[in-house]
Amino acid sequence: MTADSQIMNYVVRMVVPMRREFGRSLDVQHFLHDLVYADQVLEEALRSQDPRLREYASYVQKTLHGPRTSAGSIPAGAKAHDAQETEKIARSTPPSENDDEAKTRILKRYTHGLR
């Protein structure tokens, strides 16, 4: 599950508790596309009496304002491996090559390593 779909999942879970406690009709599409609206909703949800709603809001706030992939969604070993591969490819590509040639080499290495 991607970070975007996780955010949407949590926002959808917030709809009913927001309506019950605050009488607020939460528009999920508007929330996902309007940062000001999202911040207003999250501020209100974080003041909730419902611990689940506060938890949802906290998660969405961290994920929405942080990097698109949350720390829990990608195993730590995978991140380290990807970083090592990226660094190795960057070091092995001569700086004299143009961008197209460099991209071709990187993509060739990537697809060659797939099983």
The most confident of 3-7, 104-108, 109-113, by mean pLDDT: 3-7
- Per-domain residue ranges of the chain: 3-65, 76-112
pLDDT per residue over 28-64, tens digit each? Answer: 999 988 999 999 999 999 999 999 999 999 999 998 8
What pLDDT is stored for residue 43 in this prediction? 93
56-60 CB contacts, 8 Å cutoff, 24+ apart: 56/10, 56/11, 56/13, 56/14, 56/17, 57/14, 59/10, 60/7, 60/10, 60/11, 60/14
DSSP assignment of 42-104: HHHHHT-S-HHHHHHHHHHHHHHHS-SS-TTTS-HHHHHHHHHHHHHHHHHS-TTS-HHHHHH
Query: Which residue reads 């929330």 in tokens?
Result: 31
pLDDT per residue over 69-89, tens digit each? Answer: 444 444 444 455 555 555 555
What pLDDT is stored for residue 75 in this prediction? 46
What pLDDT is stored for residue 72 in this prediction? 46
